[in-house]
Structure 1
Amino acid sequence: MVALRREEKRLVNVLIVGTDFPPNSGGISTYSREIAQVLTERCSVTVLAPGATGSRAFDETFCFEVVRTPNIPFLRTLAFLVYVPWLLVRKRTDLVLHTVWTTALASHMWHRFFRAPYFVSVHASEILDDNRSIRRRIKGYLGRWRRAALRRAAGIFPVSRYTARLVEGFGVAKARIRVITHGVDPVRFYPGTASDSSGDGGLLTVARLDLHKGHDKVLEALARLRDERLSPRYTIVGEGEERARLARMTQALGLQEQVTFAGFVSDEELLRAYADAEVFIMASREIPGRQDLIEGFGLSFLEASASGLPVIAGRSGGVPDAVLDGKTGLLVDPCDVGDIARAIKCLVTDRERARRMGEKGRKWVEEEMNWDRAGGTLLDAMQELSRDRLSS
């Protein structure tokens, strides 16, 4: 009889709340989707996210329920204040995971009325203040509430050691901070066969064309390497506000024959881009006065490693947690063009070393840096940090 009761014990009900979720793109959107899918294997999962064009058809592909709030600019936070308590009751929620701190304001406001402990994932720039946009100004005005929401949470999950240090600055007890890095799907991203048999796959960057991503420094490094008769191809996947400036730089440096701006690509084209490349490079750097431009982790580094590529990465923000320096890739000073050029030369000319790094990166993803590990670790941490409340 006891055994039967244990078998009939209901699954833990988890509510995942965030402002970024597919079909919208981006790192936090990917994070939210992948964590939800992994937790579904052990829990009953419900996702609460803003509505988006095409979301209904998209939501039907998931094996968990997605509840959508009205997507009204500047009123989304108010919508979460209503929807969160409603779902806490309707779903008999045991655990709440907020993938950004702004939605955690709802759990903080209602915590006196509900037993479900809440947790917050922290990425980097979203918890820092600046006046770059109206939205970020509003977040800045909510600074006192942000601190309170983070400190009230049962646990905080920064995606890197760098982000963990930012969280500590808000007075969160270290015992409630658990670094849980991103993962990647090793089934989706895998070493492929290049469509170009010439062996000159060259360099690849997959990122928004933002100032801190370091495309400009890579272009300068390529110009410097021409003096050494090295002219690897460079494919840039992504769009952004830096596109026009980077195109002008390419023209001015005479790199038109080497550089390809691929723009936005489909999922299939992205996999092909990784398969065709020899080296992945993203020299992310910190920009003084730009708190909105910080690399909290760098998911594309893991996509590259899963695809069997060696990585060249800028040593900034949380990037050192996404690359094993000297093993899966090379960390460089992202502001030093010479350092970037030397790393490119090293991996382009020493293909055996590049191959070994790519293999180690793939193994690292298979054994550790995958979403199964990330989701499992996160759930274990939530249950551990809230064990007393769940058993009472």
Structure 2
Amino acid sequence: MEPAGAAGHRPRPAGHSNRRENLQKRSPGRCSAEDARQEVRLRRRTTTPGGQEALQDSRGTLPKAYKTHRPLQASRNPENAPRASLNNLQARASVKILWLNWRCIKHPLAGGAEVYTHEVARRLGRIGHEVVLVTSKPADLPKEEMIDCYRIIRAGNRYTVYLHARRIYWQLRNQGWRPDVVIDEVNTIPFLTPKYVEEPIAMLVHQLCKECWAYAIHPLIQPFGWRLERRLHKIYVESAKNGKLRAIITVSPSTKQDLIELGYPEDRIFIVYNGLDWDFYKDCVDLCRDKENLVVYVGRITPYKRLEDLLKAWRMVEQEHSDAELVVAGRAEPRYLRKLMELKRKLDLRRVELRTNILGEEKKHLLAKAKILVYTSIREGWGQTVLEAAACKTPAVAYNVPGLRDSVKHMKTGILIESGDIEQLAKAVTHLLIDHELRDRLAENAYRYAQQHSWNKTAETFLKVVEGAVHG
């Protein structure tokens, strides 16, 4: 542990290279006035009646009789989704935030966690907080850059970034920039900040790996991977108990429960839900007026998504709806994609399209034109695509697993199926393709639920938690 007040005069730890990154001398995460003027002005929030209490999760599996619930209460202006305002936070003192994540929004493998980080960091930067993100460096990205009013420092690869993060932390301090709080964003492997960070720490956990270990490398790895994951979390549990880890931020009740079971103090865990960019989705009301006989999966094409289940279920759906089409779209792992293509050929699925590397606009149009979104993951942190589909008035049929049971409200915004029940999955999709009244009701409810989420609201809540961590 370094002595208090050593910032700016601390010798480099033993074993560290003498090579220094060319770190800028100006305040690392400060957004200039000119940068801020180029950003979109944040808008005031429109209150949506109803709230979370009206959306308590019914965690049952697909019932034999499709009983529907009352529609969720509409917003006063349903064509305009609510946007939270951060203006009331601008008068507060600036917070210096050092944020550690193994990937940034420009990383070729960036996913939902990186979207969350980017959307929150850019908004905090806009209102005057200093945000520095330390992350890994793909070959085609610069070592440093400013993105939307926050600074990115890149070093190392997916494995060595954890060592570089520690070096950069001390380097910034030696240059006179000391963070008020360090955010340790955990994507399976944490940055072990309790071992060296002297400032308050806030931990951001989207999901635990748990069962995903069996799909990551080999099923036999699962018990060893989960054992390692739990051991690493013990370091943070102890840090939370001794007061160094001030806050544990997560995105869903499911992950919160997982963290409690690992021993984290419940009063230190805060749920800060994902949001939506309503400027991007504002035209979906028009786009979704003419739905096609289309079912989609949009997301990473990787083993833990269990897309084999979807293809097997689709074989049953095709027997009832020969004119329906399934599109599986997203960034694909090559080996797994080949496996799905072989399964498609073996099952003789003629109206299934596998699409890779779709862009944002294409993704939005696909979600808007689809009648149903299907998700068969072993677990999720939240299920961001479910929320994005809801903004396009597309209900979801999903497995009743952690994360998805939080983003899908059973028989309100979609249908939850017992995990692994391929026959019930096929029946649910088939039923929604036939029952237009039920599907329309779920679609409207999903849209109203999506209206309760915005990235501005997420950033506002996130900042309150971080400020609480700074001030103890």
Tell me which interval the TM-score lies in, with the shorter structure as reference length: 0.7 to 0.9
Distance in 2, Cα, partners of 1:109 & 1:123: 22
**Closer/same/farther in 2, CA of residues 82 and 150 from structure 1, 3 Å limit:** farther
Which of 371, 377, 381 matches 2:455? 371
For residues 229 and 278 of structure 1, do their structure 2 counterparts lie closer, same or farther at Cα, with a shift above 3 Å needed?
Answer: closer
> Displacement of 1:196 after TM fit?
11
Amino acid at match of 1:159: V
TM-score between the two structures when normalised by the length of structure 1: 0.82
Distance of 1:324 and 1:8 partners within structure 2: 37
Which residue does the alignment assign to 1:250? 344
Q: Which moved more, 1:374-383 or 1:186-195?
A: 186-195
Q: RMSD in angstroms over aligned alpha carbons? A: 3.1
- The 5 A counterparts of 1:130-145 are 144-145=231-232
Tell me the CA shift for residue 80 of structure 1: 1.1
Aligned residue for 2:6? Answer: none
Q: Which has the higher contact order (CA 8 A, sep 6+)?
A: 2
Aligned length: 366
1:308 is the counterpart of 2:388: no
Q: Which residue of 2 aligns with 1:77?
A: 162
Distance change >3 Å, CA 252–CA 194, structure 1 → 2: farther
Partner Cα distance (1:353, 1:142) in 2? 42
Contact 1:159 1:297 in 2 (8 A): yes
Matched to 2:460, the amino acid is G
- Displacement of 1:363 after TM fit? 2.3
* Residues 1:117 and 2:193 are matched in the alignment: no
Matches within 5 A, 1:1-392: 10-24=93-107, 25-42=110-127, 43-56=129-142, 59-68=145-154, 70-72=155-157, 74-88=159-173, 90-100=176-186, 102-105=189-192, 107-111=193-197, 114=198, 116-126=199-209, 144-152=231-239, 153-190=245-282, 191=284, 193=286, 199-238=291-330, 239-240=332-333, 241-256=335-350, 258-285=351-378, 294-367=379-452, 369-388=453-472
Change in Cα spacing, 1:249 to 1:175, as seen in structure 2 (3 Å) is same
Structure-2 change in CA distance of 1:161 and 1:78 (3 Å): same
Length-normalised TM-score, structure 2: 0.69
Choose 157-166 or 226-235, whichever is displaced more.
Answer: 226-235
Report the secondary structure of 2:451's partner residue.
helix
Secondary structure at the aligned position of 2:271 is classed as coil
Name the one with the larger helix percent. Answer: 1
**1:327-357 deviations in whole A, cap 9, x for unaligned?**
2111112311221122112221223332332
Instruction: Determine if contact 2:126/2:148 at 8 Å carries over to the other structure.
Output: no
Q: Name the CA shift for 1:126/1:211 in 2 (closer, same or farther; >3 Å).
A: closer
CA distance in 2, matches of 1:308, 1:378: 27
Question: CA offsets, 1:267-294, max 9 Å, x none?
Answer: 2222222222221111223xxxxxxxx3
CA contact (8 A) 1:120 1:150 kept: no
* Contact 1:225–1:231 under 8 Å retained in 2: no
* 2:142 aligned partner, one-letter code: R
Distance 1:357 1:334, change over 3 A: same
Consecutive unaligned residues of structure 1, counting only runs of 5 or more, are 1-6, 286-293
In 2, Cα distance between the equivalents of 1:335 and 1:144? 29
SS of the residue corresponding to residue 386 of structure 2 reads helix
> Percent identity of the aligned residues?
20
Secondary structure of the equivalent of 1:20? coil
Aligned counterparts of 2:469 and 2:226: Cα–Cα separation in 1: 28
Tell me the distance in 1 between the aligned counterparts of 2:210 and 2:344: 35
Q: In structure 2, what is the Cα distance between the partners aligned to 1:266 and 1:19?
A: 22
Partners in 2 of 1:282 and 1:157 — Cα distance? 25
Aligned to 1:55, what secondary structure does the other structure show?
coil
Q: Which residue of 2 aligns with 1:4?
A: none
Contact 1:17/1:103 (<8 A) preserved: no
Shift of 1:202: 0.7
SS at match of 1:99: strand
Letter in 2 for 1:163: T
* Deviation string, structure 1 residues 159-208 (Cα, Å, up to 9, x no partner): 222222222233221111112232222222352655996x5341010122
Distance change in 2, residues 1:168/1:255 (3 Å) = same
Whether the 8 Å CA contact 2:96–2:130 is kept in 1: the answer is yes
For residues 122 and 319 of structure 1, the distance between their equivalents in structure 2, rounded to whole angstroms, comes to: 16
TM-superposed CA distance for 1:9, in Å, is: 6.9
Displacement of 1:86: 3.1
- Residue 377 of structure 1 deviates from its aligned partner by 1.5
Shift of 1:259: 0.6
Q: Tell me, in whole angstroms, the C-alpha distance in 1 between the residues paired with 2:306 and 2:91.
A: 54
Answer with 262-271 or 81-90: which moved more: 81-90
The DSSP-based 3-state class of the residue aligned with 1:187 is helix
Aligned amino acid, residue 93 of structure 1? P
Q: Which amino acid aligns with 1:185?
A: D
Q: Is this contact kept in 2: 1:163–1:296, CA < 8 A?
A: yes
CA distance in 2, matches of 1:23, 1:139: 29
Change in 2 beyond 3 A, CA 1:228/1:177: same
CA pair 127-276 structure 1, distance change in 2 beyond 3 A: same
Distance in 2 between the 1:39 and 1:179 partners? 18
Matched to 1:280, the amino acid is: L
1:88 Cα offset (Å) = 4.8
